[in-house]
Structure 1
Amino acid sequence: MQREDIANSLIVSCQPVPGGPMDSAQFVTGFAKAALEAGAKALRIESVPYVAAARLAVRAPIIGIVKRDLSDSPVRITPYLADVEALAEAGADIIAFDATDRVRPVPVEALVKAVKARNKLAMADCSCLDDARRALAAGADFVGTTLSGYVGGPEPEDPDIALIAQMRTLTPYVIAEGRIRSPEQAAAAARAGACAVVVGSAITRTEHVTSWFHQAISDAYAARRAQTVLGPTVLGIDIGGTKTMAALVSGGTVIEDMIVPTAREAGPDAWLASLAQSTSAWSGRFRRIGIAVTGLVEDGRWSALNPATLGIPDGYPLVERASAVFGKPVCAFNDAQAAAWGEYKFGAGQGRDIVFLTISTGIGGGIVCNGRLLSGLAGHFGLIRGLSEDRAPLEDSTSGRWIASQALKAGFKADAADVFGRALKGEAWAGAIVSQSASRVATLCRDIQMMLDPKSIVIGGSIGLAEGYLDRVRAHLGEVPPRLSSDLVAAKLAGHAGVIGVADLAEWAK
């Protein structure tokens, strides 16, 4: 076959849930026939026996793969040369394999060579643009987005449309695959430049599709119960540097939420207009709005303390503009202060006076003293400096940005999550960076304890809640006398702390 044979087409992945009631050759060939009759042009099938069974039943192009769970490598898709040979013998026209830059039993170049030796086409399942570059240099005929989001960290919910567009700059033979669950997402992948689009679970895995509908219906019924039991609902909004969360919140419970990207260059007027449009379906379900933002909020006006995080006009009339856009009462708070209130009222604070620290890309915080949230500049711990006037803010030598910069200085191109992963594996350089960050946070916690004497210091944020980090902070405080030490606890509300806190504050502001 030629690459053009599957151009501008739908490919259906006929892979039943392993061990499930449809995990048999009869169902796989049935899926294949039904998909082709409905307009699919090609198939993606896992395992040599299923490829052979489908080959006897259909004449359409087949992308064949073998999945293995290896003890010495994270690579699962067609890891061995013998797998390539067996798939070719079974009748696969295209052989797909994991092309990620990870520990692997066989180099990508050797897999491509083996595919070509059997006069088959090679598809490289990639996780990023660099994977695609290497695979194309090795001679791959197609590159796919199959493994984007599956090589570390939490699995995303949506397909990687941006990666499709990036790969299209390298080759016209991009196959979109991964988390494509609706016709709209499939169309978006095609518009982004994919020459073909693979859809799997949404068509051939009844168990998965049923679970999606079950979850959606359960959430809807829970939301209906919550509106009846919990009382007034508030729209909580948390505007961040890269994304914005909007949520319907009642009594400290998130009923529904959504995340939309923050178009940094568009400015706050555009952000508010976009939010109003995105939440328009909720307009009749809330009476008030609470908005949490990075930076300083005073008298309803918003100013940036660190323009690199999110640039806004100084003194932007946030409450006034938002009230005009939404047509409902609005209050606004700093995001970390709002999260502090959320943790105090509904999370790890347990109603006790706390200091909240969020450690992620930067460092923020909030203070609840005598049951009252301190506003203004209170809690901006990431911007404090040492005794030397030219010393940089604390977050510049502690937070996620700093961790990534130290990794680069050590000769490793890694973000904070990668550094933590390597530290957990025992790599000394990574452990030293994480430990140094934790040591500085420990010093900050000791200073906070001496200045404010809170009942607890609640630690949140992607760095603060990373595996092992809080234990390292506690270890650095090990020699501090008990009365001077801090009760460090992990935040409980995670990414919802800001919207829950600001929604409750909006109710108090009535």
Structure 2
Amino acid sequence: MLEQIKGKLIVSCQALEYEPLYGSNLMARMALAAFQGGAAGIRANTYDDIVEIKATVNLPVIGIVKRDYKDSSIYITPTIKEVREIEAAGAEIVALDCTLRKRPNGEKLEDLIKAIRKEFPKLLIMADISTVEEGINAYRLGVNLISTTLSGYTEYTLSKEGPDIELVKELVSKVSIPVIAEGKIDTPEQARLCLEAGAHAIVVGGAITRPKQITERFIKVINL
């Protein structure tokens, strides 16, 4: 499966409750459009969306469950509870926040990864990180892939704009597992630069599947 996505585009099909395209049926249609356009994989949020997407397209799915916990800012697959939902839905890869921030219930990342390995030995683990240090830590804990998803979104990387190509380059030089470029990739040219930096594959979401965000980018430039 890692060979299947190598050098290819993965499309993130997500919509939260307050967004116009919220709904598993709509996300499945979005995934179908991505599949017809040539996508090699899908990233999806929630059990229902993953199930609907898997029934619609024959592509590998990176599954997440976004859930808020009062004692932690981590919300991308925070605990084993969310991992179980993702596995039950049929995703081949589970992506989870592997930043060094405090986790829900005071849990440790290493314990979560061990629990996933024990309960779901065939499930691949993708680490969503925001810094080189976090990527190397996740690599040492035994994940299968690293993604730059959270660069520009953690409180200590908020100043970063656009795709973090330097982070991709550094991680590629320091780990021996696939590095996925994700986060703030708005154009095909930026995606190409990420591949040239050594990314195993590219994940693009908002620039393809969130028309509200796309419209806002146009409006911002027009208003200048």
TM-score norm. by structure 2 comes to 0.93
* 1:148 and 2:151 matched: yes
Map 1:224-303; keep pairs closer than 5 Å. Answer: none
Provide the residue aligned with 1:193 in structure 2. Answer: 198
Q: Secondary structure at the match of 1:77?
A: coil
2:135 to 132, 140, 144: 132
Please report how far the alpha carbon of residue 52 of structure 1 lies from its aligned counterpart in structure 2 after TM superposition: 1.2
Structure 1, residues 398-435: CA drift from partner, whole Å, max 9, x if none?
A: xxxxxxxxxxxxxxxxxxxxxxxxxxxxxxxxxxxxxx
Q: What corresponds to 1:76 in structure 2?
A: 75
Q: State the structure with bigger RCO (CA 8 A, min sep 6), 1 or 2.
A: 2
Partner Cα separation in structure 2 for residue 47 and residue 107 of structure 1: 23
Partner in structure 1 of residue 38 of structure 2: 39
2:176 counterpart residue number: 171
The AA in structure 1 aligned to 2:49 is Y
Give the counterpart letter for 1:100 in structure 2: T
Q: For residues 352-382 of structure 1, give each alpha carbon's deviation from its aligned partner in whole angstroms, at most 9, with x where no partner exists.
A: xxxxxxxxxxxxxxxxxxxxxxxxxxxxxxx
CA contact 1:172–1:195 (8 Å) conserved in 2 = no
1:121 has 2:124 as partner? yes
Contact 1:13 1:43 in 2 (8 A): yes
1:8 matched to 2:4: no
Give the alignment partner of residue 211 of structure 2, picking from 206, 210, 214: 206
Are 2:152 and 2:161, in contact at CA under 8 Å, matched by a contact in 1?
no
Q: Identity of aligned pairs, percent?
A: 39
Measured in 2, the distance between the counterparts of 1:69 and 1:22 equals 21
Q: State how 1:47-446 maps to structure 2 within 5 Å.
A: 47-105=46-104, 106-116=107-117, 117-118=119-120, 119-152=122-155, 154-169=158-173, 170-219=175-224
CA contact (8 A) 1:85 1:114 kept: no
Q: Secondary structure at the match of 1:176?
A: strand
Letter in 1 for 2:170: Q
Deviation at 1:155, TM superposition (A): 4.5
**Cα deviation code 1:85-118 (max 9, x no counterpart):** 1100101100000000111023222332333332
SS at match of 1:197: strand
Shift in Å, 1:151 = 1.3
1:18 Cα deviation from its structure 2 partner = 3.4
Query: Which one has a bigger Cα radius of gyration?
Result: 1
**Partner amino acid, structure 2, of 1:190:** L
Structure 1 residue 17: deviation in Å? 4.4
Segments of structure 2 that go 5 or more residues without pairing to the other structure are none
Q: TM-score, normalized by length of structure 1? A: 0.42
**Structure 1 residue 157, shift from structure 2 partner:** 2.4
User: 2:130 & 2:32 partners in 1: Cα distance?
Assistant: 30
Instruction: Provide the residue aligned with 1:412 in structure 2.
Output: none
Q: Secondary structure at the match of 1:54?
A: helix
| DSSP-derived class of the 1:152 partner | coil
Work out the number of aligned pairs and report it. 218
CA distance in 2, matches of 1:33, 1:110: 36
C-alpha distance in 2, partners of 1:92/1:78?
Answer: 13
Secondary structure in 2 matching 1:130: helix
Residues 146 and 177 of structure 2 are in contact (CA less than 8 Å); yes or no, is this contact kept in structure 1? no
Paired with 1:52 and 1:19, the residues of 2 have a C-alpha distance of: 21
Q: Match of 1:462?
A: none
Q: Please state whether the residue corresponding to 1:134 is helix, strand or coil.
A: helix
In 1, Cα distance between equivalents of 2:99 and 2:19: 28
1:148 Cα deviation from its structure 2 partner: 0.9
Distance 2:201 2:221 in 1: 29
User: SS of the residue aligned with 1:35?
Assistant: helix
3-state DSSP class of the match of 1:19?
coil
1:139-167 deviation line (CA, Å, top 9, x unaligned): 10000101112111545321100000001
Paired with 1:16 and 1:82, the residues of 2 have a C-alpha distance of: 21
Q: Which amino acid aligns with 1:65?
A: I
Q: Which amino acid aligns with 1:113?
A: K
- Give the conservation status (yes or no) of the 8 Å contact 1:172–1:193: no
Check if 1:18 corresponds to 2:17.
yes
Contact conserved, 1:115 with 1:121, CA < 8 A, in 2? no
* Gap regions ≥5 residues in structure 1: 220-510
